[in-house]
Chain A
Amino acid sequence: MTTAPFTSSSSRYTIRLVLSWLSLATAASAGEQPGGPSPTVHAYPALGIGAERKVEVAWNRFYDHAGLSDILARLHAAFPDLTKLYSIGKSTEGRNLWCIEVTARRVGKPDRKPGMYVDGNIHGNEVQAGEVVAYAAWYLCHQYGRLDRVTALVDDYVFYLVPMVNPDGRDFWLATSTGAMSGRTGSVPIDNDRDGVADEDDCDDLDGDGTVTMMRIKDPQGRYKEHPDYPQYLMVRARPDEPGEYTLLGWEGIDNDGDGRVNEDGRGGYDLNRNWAWDWQPAYVQYGAMDYPFSQPETRAVARFVLAHPNIAAAQCYHNAGGMILRGPGREGGEMKGSDNRLLQMIADRGEKILPYYRSMICWQDLYTTWGDEDSWLYGMRGALAYTCEMWTSRNLYKTDHHPSDEQEAEFIRDVLLGDGVVAWHEYEHPTYGRIEIGGTRKEWGRLPPSFLLEEELHRNMAFALYHASMMPLLRIADIAVEPLADRLFRIWVTIENRGPMPTRTGQDIDHHISPPDLVSIRGADLKVLSSGLVTDRFFKRVRAAESRPQRLELDTIDGMDATRVQFIVEGGGPFTVTVDSAKGGLLHKDSALP
């Protein structure tokens, strides 16, 4: 309603004016209400992502397998020319491992573009890893055609995005009352306490508050006290010369199987990220490795997929937590070629800037030894440049280089989260321990960002992944130079440029013949190849000739930010086609003709 003067003398307006005065008079106490069309009509973008979204998703929360799958389905339905959606296998409990393949389907040959493989959530409790992969798919689809850098990425490369490698663990962690570390494992029952029965004594939500926290008991010989400033849930160790008040009893639970131990054999009990076929070691050396590499349906499904896509040149595996960009080797003495390590380090250094408070690290050296983990297999056995990214660090709470203290974290919970995330100590009658107290932080605290920092984590980690992708080889047959030598005899020089920093075959790839050699071939209706070779010096025209099969020249690699030249001596005339066939660099053709 407005009281601005009307300039029109139409009777309609006069009536309206009268009516509005009437309503003013009669509705003195009602008040005005906002309302109108959908908020997106009135929405304007902040930088980062457009305001108009074909697929509306709230990225400040977590979704279970069904929820995230639905997002993928809506994405694919909204962007059929940019996506393919399929299952690469099923989990132990039969959930689909979805892969959303993002590339411009009408540009180039989708199956022959350099590929980047990104997955997440192989540990079921590391849930934000699922969101970051789905966010990447969502972002690429929405920004295609809007931002040149995104358009180029989606035109030149193909992204294989698998958000949830362990959906069983994910759903268990999200939907069941559980502690922060449970749900990491897969679903297969494992006899952790070696008593002949599996999974018979897990944690229990004794007080039915929907989460599993900690138990403590008042004990004059206990070595713990309540923190004086945060007595509700924070404990501190008593000094060596002072008495304490409590003994900590561990996670909430009872002795379900009557064997005198509490919570000693919970759900599952293995680690899908130690089940990979590079530097695999049995369980007594590497906890959780299971009986042999790729024994589990989840790891086997991913391995089969990667093996079936020899164009995968780069990879990223998402986890939580710690704020780390990890590269191999997983164990001391593990394989890592110098040239590959230099490239990985360079990319990770940039990653530290895209992801403040994250650190670039070498797994065995800066973290701990892992045997049989995923990124080690992706590099070691497939020659792909791969990282494991541990999302979220408490350094981000106060934007510091160091971790905040327990007290500082408690302050954050109190002042920024207004207490969300803790369960205050409260009494409970335990069948074995008697009167105890239950309390502590909820499962969402510690390894997951709070809602308002979650979207930042997703975007920045995705940006690092896209930066990594932009390093992949980008080939072009730049030039075909024909020089007549005699009648119907020619020397042809083909220049192949690689405008990406990554070579078509990494050092690991070349050393172990992982992918086939890059092939340069030439064909024509009236063309016979007499000799071919690699130009080793283009100024002095030095050529290393191939010993046999000159029509298909084998190259070790086409280096990054470099041009490779090859020479063909041919006999004939007329048109011809040059083909470059590189597993990870792509399939290119260029036509030309002999004079």
Chain B
Amino acid sequence: MKLAPCRTWRWPVLFVVFLIAAVPANAVDYYSHATMAEHLAWLAENEPNLVHVRELAMSREKRKVWVVEVGAGAEADRNTRPALLVVAGIEGNDLVGPVTTLSWIEGLVKKYHESSATVDLLNATTIYAVPCLNPDATEQFFAEPRIERCVNGAPNDEDHDGLLDEDGYEDLNGDGLITMMRVEDKEGQYIADPNEPRLLLQADPLKGEIPVWRLLPEGIDNDGDKRWNEDGPGGVNFNRNFPFGYGYFAPDAGIHQVSEDETRALADLVVARPNIGIVLTYGAADNLRKTPKSGPPAGRSKPMEAVSEKDIAYYEALGKVYCTKLGLSKELEGVSKPGTFSDWMYFDRGLLSLAVRPWDAAFAVESSKPRKADEGNNPHDVNSPDARKKPAKDKDKRGQDEREQLKWFDEHAPDAFVAWQVIEHADFPGRRVEVGGWRPFARTNPPPAILDEVAEKHGEFLTDLVGRLPRLQVAKIECRLLADSIYEIEILVTNTGFLPTVLAHGEMSQEVLPTRLTLELDPQCFLAGERITRLPAISGSGGTAKARYTVRATGIDLIRFEVTSALAGRMQGTIELLKEGEK
């Protein structure tokens, strides 16, 4: 697949001068599309040798989707180095992911001028970042009224009545937010939580609970079908639009897999960049806070259902690193969603693919709990004290998580919950209707006050990740003269990175090309061995592979060779052919 041609991007000179003067310092709030454009323009103008910004796609509402490439040197070199891909804003309610991604890149670029370790990193590896794949959805954060929407604007008949997008939300209490409304309704399903009346619980008839409330999104029944706001503008959730585990006919999955221009551009990008060895996607899916389940490796003709047993150890190890860096001592719930980009990258393309939400309410609650030091509490260890504690029976746990979260917000960001406010609603004459509930985006994006801290911790994890890519080195070249001009050659190659040169599923799926060692020597010269040798997978942390040859090399002083690994980089070397008598 060929990528769309690069478009270099030039701003008028005056604007450039203005931007250079207005260096964005630390992120303090979420990025609108225009703000992101400014940050990217600054990077492109001030670090042209390190940061390359390109338009990946154009959204429906004509907003640019960018891909940012970070690495030193020429493009051809960057595209053969081991690489990390970060994707954010793939779900419309992820505003923190784009901030995390861009502030990490800005930090890295700054460190490049200060630290030799970062210089080494950006000379030896490449970073690809798509800081916001679905700007039409994330921009709803800045819309009037603010709507938490995960989908783009593609028209869709969600309620299957033959009309498109005919019943969206309305801001009934004029607070500039779309929250929820609760309606006194005998046909409802909810009661107020006795422990926290702002929250609702599903009425349990077995406990004698009679429902009081009906819970609906804020708005009116525009199309008169006795359903409220069931078919609003949009759309497709880009993180449900990929082939693995695709949810056929799900309202937010798109008319078919990879249906949107943006998702297609992202798919074409990863196909055109086979050097990507680690992918991290910010969104609802999560395989870092909890190790995903594993299963037997795929058969040649059998679709896979769980991470291969042979690869799960890497997921577990990186999950541990994540929890340590983020200060999590308890394993939270993992999350799996159908049709995610992260699942496609592992199950169909055989690459190490991580997914997490940079922050959510559950995380906030957990990190605010005092850490139990020195108990060796490893959230991924089944035998840790926490895991062994059994939950007390007979205690009504309903709504406990939500109550804990509300308590946290009351202390740290009290405007996260909009107090219930009585209104008159034309669709429910004579009945009590209240508007209120969670503030849009509040539970998936941290309060601006702690945004920096969240971004910084994630930046540390991202830097750690880049350092885990596989890296090939030539460990040893041995050359022995047997007789005349016949030599016995042995080349030993080693992987100094953490990850192997290919995962077990990368090999099984055949998506990752095998590592090749190519000698620049006429095939006729080989008495044993071949010009192109395929090396097996090389495990990380010093794993090795070797190739041996017997060659007849008359009148040649040296033989050049190249080792090409899809994920671990490319390097050249030279074999010096010692003549008789030389040492």
Q: Which residue numbers of A lie inside 8 Å of B, CB to CB? A: 188, 191, 194-196, 258-260, 277-278, 280-285, 291-295, 303, 307, 369, 380-381, 512-514, 516-517, 519, 547-549, 554, 581
A-B contact pairs, 20 of them (CB 8 A): A194-B510, A196-B564, A260-B530, A281-B303, A282-B243, A282-B347, A283-B511, A285-B302, A291-B271, A292-B243, A292-B257, A292-B267, A292-B344, A294-B259, A512-B249, A513-B249, A514-B249, A516-B161, A549-B224, A549-B225
Residues of A within 8 A of B225 (CB): 548-549
On chain A, the residues within 8 Å of B531 by CB distance are: 258
CB pair A277–B256 under 8 Å, yes or no, is yes
Kindly provide the distance from the CB of A260 to the nearest chain B CB, expressed in whole angstroms. 7
Closest 10 CB pairs of A and B: A516-B162, A277-B256, A513-B160, A282-B348, A284-B509, A512-B249, A292-B258, A293-B257, A548-B226, A291-B271
User: How would residues 159 to 170 of chain B score, 1 for a CB under 8 Å from any chain A CB and 0 otherwise?
Assistant: 011100000000
Interface string of B210-246 (1 = CB under 8 A from A): 0000000000000111100000000000000011000
B248 within 8 A of A: yes
Residue of A nearest to B512 (CB): A194
B514 within 8 A of A: yes
A281 to B511, CA, bound (A): 13
How far is A259 from B523 in the complex, measured between Cα atoms in Å? 9
- The reply on B321 being an interface residue by CB < 8 A is no
Expressed in whole angstroms, the minimum distance between the Cβ of A311 and any Cβ of chain B is: 14
Return the chain B residue nearest A188 by Cβ.
B1
B508 at the interface (CB under 8 A from A): yes
Contacts of A549 in B (CB 8 A): 223-225
Complex contacts, A369 vs chain B, CB 8 Å: 301
In the bound complex, residues from chain A placing their C-beta under 8 Å from that of B271 are: 291
Task: Name the contact of B243 in the complex, choosing from A194, A280, A381 (C-beta under 8 A).
Answer: A280
Q: Are B257 and A280 in contact, with the CB atoms below 8 A?
A: yes
Q: Is the CB of A381 within 8 A of B509?
A: no
Please name all residues of chain A whose beta carbon is closer than 8 Å to the beta carbon of B162 when the two chains form the complex. Answer: 516-517, 519, 554, 581
A-side contacts of B513, CB under 8 Å: 191, 194, 196
**Given pairs A291-B271, A292-B348, A548-B226, 19 additional interface contacts (CB within 8 A):** A196-B513, A196-B516, A258-B531, A277-B256, A284-B300, A285-B303, A291-B1, A292-B242, A292-B243, A293-B243, A293-B256, A295-B267, A369-B301, A512-B249, A516-B160, A519-B162, A547-B226, A549-B223, A554-B161
| Contacts from B to A (Cβ < 8 Å) | 1, 157, 160-162, 223-226, 242-243, 248-249, 255-259, 267, 271, 298, 300-303, 344, 347-349, 508-511, 513-514, 516, 523, 530-532, 564
Chain A residue at minimal CB-CB distance from B299: A285
B-side contacts of A512, CB under 8 Å: 248-249
B162 to chain A, nearest CB (A): 3
CB of B348 within 8 A of CB of A307, answer no
Contact yes or no, B160 A381, CB < 8 A? no
Q: How far is the CA of A474 from the CA of B275 in the complex (A)?
A: 56
B255 x A307 contact (CB < 8 A): yes
Contacts of A282 in B (CB 8 A): 243, 347-349, 509, 511
**A334 CB, min distance to chain B CBs, angstroms:** 11
Q: Which residues of A contact B511 (CB under 8 A)?
A: 282-284
- Check A548–B224 contact: CB distance below 8 A: yes
Minimum CB–CB distance from A553 to chain B (whole Å) comes to: 11
Tell me which residues across on chain B come within 8 A of A303, comparing CB atoms: 256
Rounded to whole angstroms, the CA-CA distance of A512 and B255 in the bound complex is: 12
| Residues of chain A lying within 8 A (CB to CB) of residue B258 | 292-295
Evaluate contact between A291 and B249: CB separation under 8 angstroms.
Answer: no
Chain A residue numbers with a CB within 8 Å of B242 are: 292
Q: A381-B248, A517-B160 are in contact. Are A295 and B523 (CB under 8 A)?
A: no
For chains A and B in complex, what number of residue pairs have CB atoms within 8 angstroms? 91
With A292-B267, A294-B258: A285-B301 Cβ-Cβ less than 8 Å: yes
Nearest chain A CB to B81 CB, angstrom units: 16
Residues of B within 8 A of A519 (CB): 162
Write out the residue numbers on chain B whose beta carbons fall within 8 Å of the beta carbon of A196.
513, 516, 564
- Specify the chain A residue showing the minimal Cβ separation from B251: A513
When chains A and B are docked, how far (Å) is the Cα of A196 from the Cα of B348?
A: 20
Nearest Cβ on chain B to A145's Cβ, whole angstroms: 36
Q: Give the residue name and chain of the A residue nearest to B227 (CB).
A: A548
Which B residues are in CB contact (< 8 Å) with A307?
A: 255
Q: Please name the residue on chain A nearest to B263 by beta carbon.
A: A292
Name the residue of chain A whose CB is nearest to the CB of B344: A292
The distance in angstroms between the C-alpha atoms of A260 and B349, with both chains bound, is 29
Min CB gap A191→B, angstroms: 8
Instruction: Find chain B residues with CB under 8 A from A260 CB.
Output: 530
B259 cross-chain contacts in A, Cβ below 8 A: 294
Alpha-carbon distance A278/B257, docked complex (angstroms): 9
Residues of A within 8 A of B257 (CB): 277, 280, 292-294
CB distance from B35 to the nearest CB of A (A): 32
Q: Could you tell me the distance in whole angstroms from the C-beta of A422 to the nearest C-beta in chain B?
A: 36
Please state if B516 and A381 are interface contacts (CB–CB under 8 Å): no
Query: How far is B223's CA from A527's CA once the two chains are assembled, in angstroms?
Result: 20
In the bound complex, how far is the Cα of B381 from the Cα of A488, in angstroms? 77
Chain B: minimal CB distance from A300 (Å): 9
Q: Which residues of B contact A191 (CB under 8 A)?
A: 513
* B161: A residues at CB distance < 8 A: 516-517, 554
Shortest Cβ distance from residue A92 to the other chain B in the assembled complex, whole angstroms: 11
Complex: A521 Cα to B22 Cα, angstroms: 61
Residues of B within 8 A of A278 (CB): 248
Q: Write the nearest CB–CB distance from A507 to chain B, whole angstroms.
A: 14
A369-B303 Cα distance, complex, nearest whole Å: 13
> Is there contact, CB below 8 Å, between B523 and A516?
no
Q: Which residues of B contact A294 (CB under 8 A)?
A: 256-259
Residue of A258, A281, A284 with most chain B CB atoms under a 10 A cut-off: A284
Q: Which residue of B lies closest to A277 (CB)?
A: B256
**Pairwise interchain contact A284-B298, C-beta atoms closer than 8 A:** yes
Contact of A195 among B223, B302, B532 (CB under 8 A): B532
Contacts of B303 in A (CB 8 A): 281, 285
Complex: A380 Cα to B267 Cα, angstroms: 24
B1 / chain A contacts, CB cutoff of 8 Å: 188, 291, 295
Q: Which residues of B contact A513 (CB under 8 A)?
A: 160, 249
A283 to B271, CA, bound (A): 13
Bound together, the chains give a CA A386 to CA B266 distance in angstroms of: 32
Whose C-beta in chain B lies nearest to the C-beta of A547? B226
- Beta-carbon contact of A283 and B510 below 8 Å: yes
Max count, chain A CB within 10 A of own CB: residue among B224, B257, B302: B257
Q: B258 to chain A: closest CB distance in Å?
A: 5
- Closest Cβ of chain A to B487, distance in Å, is 21
- Identify the closest chain B residue to A512 (Cβ): B249
Among residues of B, the one whose C-beta sits closest to the C-beta of A257 is B532
Which residues from A are CB-within-8-Å of B267? 291-292, 295
Q: Nearest chain-B residue to A514 (Cβ)?
A: B249
Would you give the shortest CB distance from B563 to chain A, in whole angstroms? Answer: 12
Point out the residues of chain A lying under 8 angstroms from B298, CB to CB. 284-285
List the B residue with the shortest CB-CB distance to A286.
B301
Task: Considering the complex, give the chain A residue whose CB is closest to the CB of B158.
Answer: A513
